[in-house]
Structures are given as structure tokens and as C-alpha cells.
Amino acid sequence: MFQKFVDDIEEQLHIFSADIEAFVKNSLFQSAHMEKLLEKINELIQRLFPLTAIREYDLPSTMPKYEFKFNYSPQSKIDEKQDREESKTTEQPKIDEQNRSDSPLSNIETSESENSDCWFPDENYFCNRDKHEPTSYTVNCMASDGINIMYSTIEDPQHERIAYCYLDTNDPNYRQADPDRIWHQSRIVDMIWWDNIDLFVCATGNGIYTVEYLDERFRILNVIKNRLTPVHIAANTDYIWVRVIGKIMIYNTNFQLTRSINFSLPRSLTLVSFCLTDNIVAVALLRRIENDRDLLNIEFYDFNMKRRKRIRLGLGENSCVIRTDGNDRFYVAMGQQKFFIVSSNGNKQTINLGKQASCLTVVNSRSIVLTKSRSDLELVKC
């Protein structure tokens, strides 16, 4: 029934396209056709809107995407990747009990009712509110669990801390002092949220740690031991990638090594950040040019680290960050009063900011947070 409704809209689009062609040729326009099309689109919006109360997911990233274009094949296109993602959310494979007992995460307590009370922000999460949110400490690295922000701070050189900033305006802790804890491990150099295991993951020079924030308490667990620096981390649905000099190590959700890839760069290039989706790897690289300046390039690779495309963004700095919403959208903060949205097909969009930003995290498919080592976050709806 829903597909027939969408097909009706498509038919109205073709009629409207013909009206535009007639207007260009004969200066005649059928306004009734446009009104009927707008009426159908408004009805579609009304049908989709209630779904947010039924499905506890970020609908813009999980619902199939219908693309309507003039003068194209009669059938609407459905994004196959979105279909695969939706099937994963509805049919999650069960983890073997033996594997669970061998996992470093097996001693983390979970609640059966935990998911029943989950709330996920939609694409209007940052609408009609202040553009900046204060934090209790200056931000070094940060990541979002899809609602709020966890960040590390080196405001006190003697004691690095991790803290949790509430962005949910309905939470009683909103704009209260950020809960925090001293970080006794080596300094955090990279931080992500891994949605598949519902944990923050922090990379340090002495290993990889998971952090669970629950009931205003931080639970820290060392899941990968290493002493290799520099180190960067990224994750897609099923795997976390750990990049050190000359190599990328790939681990499953139990933090068991499944594969390693040799990946070396010329001396003129420095990897400053990377991220990945279920389809592609995006790497932020700095190339030293004249006058000791650095040129930032974004390069896309397949899962064997064979390069597919390069996008030049301009002058950058070592603290730049690239992140993704899981789809073919990559966000790049590079220490300027602007950030970029790029895609693997070469498209690039520039978004102006109120302040400089070199640290970035994605809240959902249309909301991101940026900062540059300061005590406030800039909220952006893309």
C-alpha cells in the first residue's frame, strides 16, 4: 500500500516535469498539478512522522531512501545499503555463548530492560536551541553515544580526566556539572563510540580501553594491550580497526584479532585521522608543502587499503578529525572556522562555523558537534 502511494507521487513528479517543459516552451503552466503534488508530499510526511514513535531508531539513517528525479526510469530507486542495514537491526545474529565467556567484555553487566527505555534523537535534535553548549572542562578528544558526549580533558596536566556532557535537554543533568573521573591510564589520543557494543573506545599509547557510562559511573576495561604509537581507531558495524605505524590491525566485537594489513605511507604524508563504514575507509592525510605548511587530503580506500579516490581540502593542522554517520557522508574538522562534508564519489560541501574547530563527533545522521580545545561545544544540524 505504501509503495503504491510512493508510485503515485512519482507519477505526479513526471506530470510536473512535463509542465515545466511546457512552461519553458509555451509559457503555460498548470498550477493545479503542482498543488496536487505538494498535497501528496505533505501526506507522505504525515505518514512518515508517526513512525518515530514506533521504531526506536534514527529514522533518517535506517528507513529506505526514495530518490525522486525528473526524467529518469519509472521505478523509484531504493538504497540497497539501507536495506541491508535495516535487516541487520531487525535480525541481529546471536553471539555464541562460548565466545562470550572468552571475551574481555564478558564481565560487563547488562540489564534486560536497558534497551526498552532507550531514546534516540531524531534529525531535529539541535533545532530551536542555543548553538553552543558549555562543558565543565576543556575538550581534548570526544565521542557521542547518539544522545550525549563523553570527552577527555587535559586541563590539569597532572591528571587527565574523562567527563560526560548531557546534550539531552530533557535530562535532569542537562547543564549541570559534567560527571567526571580521573583517567589513570596513559593519555587518550583517539576516542570513538562503537554502536555495536554500546561502549566508548579510547586509544592510548599503552593499549585500547572501553568505557561504559551508566548511572553517572565510568567503568573502564583494557581490551587490547600494545605499546605502539601513534595510534588511531575506527569502527564499522562488525569490526574495529587499530592503525599504528606501518600496519592496521582488525578486531571483532570480542576484541579478538581477525586480520592485519600492512599500510605504510611516504615520509611526506602523515595520517592524522581515519574512519570507516561498512563499504569504505576514509583517511585524513597531511602533506608537508613549502613554508612548513600542511595540505590536507581525504583519501578513500577499499578494505584491502587500495586507494580509490583523493579529495584535496586545503591547509590543515595535526589535530583535524574525520568522522562518518555510517552512510556515505564524512565530516572533516581541520582547525578553521568551517568544516567539510565529503563523499567517496568526490562531492564536497563547505559549512561555515561561528568559531574554529578541530575536534568533531557525529550525534546522528543530521546532527554533529564540534569544538577546538575549549569549554563549549558548537552544535550543527547538517
Mean pLDDT of the chain: 79
Q: Strand pairing of 180-182 and 188-194? A: unpaired
Higher pLDDT, 75 or 130: 130
Q: What is the pLDDT of residue 70?
A: 39
Each residue's pLDDT tens digit, 339-371: 999 999 989 999 988 888 989 999 988 899 999
Please report, for the chain, how many H helices and E strands are present, in that order: 6, 26
Sheet of 161-165, strands arranged across: 141-144, 149-153, 161-165, 180-182
Dist. CA 353–CA 338, nearest whole Å: 5
Distances (CA, A) of 209 to 202, 242, 243: 5, 12, 15
Q: What is the pLDDT of residue 9?
A: 74
Dist. CA 235–CA 276, nearest whole Å: 6
Higher pLDDT, 68 or 129: 129
Predicted TM-score (pTM) of the model is 0.68
Phi, psi of 304 (to 5 degrees): -105, 10
Measured in residues, the chain has a length of 382
Q: What is the pLDDT of residue 55?
A: 40
Dist. CA 247–CA 96, nearest whole Å: 30
Q: What is the pLDDT of residue 24?
A: 65
CA dihedral 253, 255, 257, 260 (to 10 degrees): 80
CATH architecture of the domain covering 121-381: 7 Propeller (2.130)
Q: What is the pLDDT of residue 30?
A: 65
What SS3 class is residue 338?
strand
**140-163: b or e for each residue (b if 16 or more CB lie within 10 Å)?**
bbbbbbbbbbbbbbbeeeeebbbb
On the question of pLDDT at 334 being above 70, the answer is: yes
What SS3 class is residue 187?
coil
Q: What is the pLDDT of residue 241?
A: 98
What residues does each domain of the chain span?
2-89, 121-381
Phi, psi of 371 (to 5 degrees): -160, 170
Least confident interval from 99-113, 129-143, 218-232 = 99-113
On the question of pLDDT at 1 being above 90, the answer is: no
On the question of pLDDT at 63 being above 60, the answer is: no
Higher pLDDT, 116 or 354: 354
Sheet of 367-371, strands arranged across: 132-134, 376-381, 367-371, 359-364
Q: What is the pLDDT of residue 119?
A: 61
Q: What is the pLDDT of residue 84?
A: 47
Select from 115, 83, 6 the least CA-distant residue to 327: 83
On the question of pLDDT at 319 being above 90, the answer is: no
303, with CB counted inside 10 A (0-12, 13-18, 19+), is middle
Q: What is the pLDDT of residue 115?
A: 42
Q: Strand pairing of 161-165 and 149-153? A: antiparallel
